[in-house]
Amino acid sequence: MRPLRALLVGRVNLLEKRGGDTVQIESTCRALNQAGIEATIATSLEPNLAGVDLVHLFNLSRITETAHHFRRAEGKGIPTVLTAIYQDLSEYNQRGRHGRGRWLHQVLGDSGLECCRAVHQAWSDRRLLEPAWRQLWEGHQASQARLVQKAGAVLFTGPGEKVDLEQRFGPVRSGKIIPLGIDREFFNPGTGNPMGPWQDGNHVLSVGRIEDLKNQIGLLDALEGLEIPLVFLGAPNGAHGSYVREFKRRVARRPDTWHVDALPRPALARSMAAARIHVLSSWFENVGLVSLEAAAAGCRVLSTSRGYLRDYLGDQALYFDPGDGVEIREKVLAAWSGDNNGGTRARARQFSWKRTAGLLSQAYEELLDR
């Protein structure tokens, strides 16, 4: 009997513009193959569906490609699973956006801004023209609702995401909670910091693409005047040029502050293990996989309260309002002088991609049996 064949589909720039969803899909694919499922990743808008038993869709927030892949699978009678990676960006749109995005939101509102973003993406990448026009015709939220209600199964990263998504789109007929995992190198990252002069562990680390959603300037403002070394690790988002330039100006004028582009995963794990605190100050994160990885590597973890990390780390992490600089500052100072991260590390290490793949395999089989 041949193994089950699953096609994992993501956005067209999944591998060029890497993010948390890239890590999630790649790690899921590896773990599924190790579990005996023949899993492959597709970023093309027209992947070959011959011989595919199941299409696994990722990312409800960027709906353009996801809805397109669902329509193709539905047209060929292939069952679909959706990992939502749901993000409520309304607060970010109102409080966190910079530059042109802020103005467009004031004029168009949440749904109008998302449709405008789809058109901009299609203008930059002509492969997206047809899916973008379909999204404009149907409407951003309507496209999301249709997918949530019609996918064979909807997978949530935790209870918080399930509650929020069902409040927005109504009860999901076949929903399952399947937690994320952590790559093994974060469990045993080794020693040594490959990055530069901050090798004694007495620094704050913040990992994430440089963009206004991640709110790095908010973190810089909150720590103004504190003599705490600060390291930002992440590639600049080319679509957020004015924000990136302002961020770089702030970094250049703050003492003991550095910005490093993305590192390979093993080096990232060692960098996390070398840091004293990891801070993720985003306006919204689904879980914030880097926070979970940092905890497993041995960092004390401070995270935005906007998202679902609490379903994983509970009160072992410190949480803050990303728009409250005073609270961010107080939480950083509390973590800086706090106890070690033993409890957080032990809790984070409960999560593995092997466990995720096992739960996914069960979900696949149940869907195919139906």
**Any idea which residue has 């504190």 for tokens?**
226
For residues 19 and 64, membership in a common domain is answered with yes
For residues 101 and 223, membership in a common domain is answered with no
For residues 278 and 191, membership in a common domain is answered with yes
Closest C-alpha to 227, from 320, 339, 332:
332
For residues 67 and 189, membership in a common domain is answered with no
pLDDT of 109: 62
Structural domain of 70 = 5-181+352-369
Q: Which two tokens stand for residue 120?
A: 């901009």
Instruction: Count the domains in the chain.
Output: 2
Q: 206: which DSSP letter?
A: E
Residue 217 Cα distances to 213, 253, 283, angstroms: 10, 13, 12
**Any idea which residue has 């998302």 for tokens?**
114
For residues 362 and 340, membership in a common domain is answered with no
CA distance 14 to 22: 6
For residues 173 and 283, membership in a common domain is answered with no
pLDDT of 134: 77
For residues 301 and 227, membership in a common domain is answered with yes
For residues 68 and 164, membership in a common domain is answered with yes
For residues 167 and 271, membership in a common domain is answered with no
For residues 213 and 331, membership in a common domain is answered with yes
Contact 91, 38 (CB under 8 A): no
CATH code: domain of residue 281: 3.40.50.2000
What are the E-state strand segments in the chain? 5-9, 38-42, 54-58, 80-83, 153-156, 175-177, 204-207, 230-233, 257-260, 277-280, 300-304, 318-320
For residues 193 and 119, membership in a common domain is answered with no
Return averaged pLDDT per consecutive 10 residues of the chain, 370 residues in all: 92 88 95 97 94 96 90 96 90 79 58 63 68 75 91 96 94 92 86 57 91 96 94 91 95 94 86 92 95 93 96 95 97 84 83 96 93
For residues 26 and 129, membership in a common domain is answered with yes
pLDDT of 182: 94
CA distance 297 to 304: 19
Closest C-alpha to 302, from 158, 204, 236, 176:
204
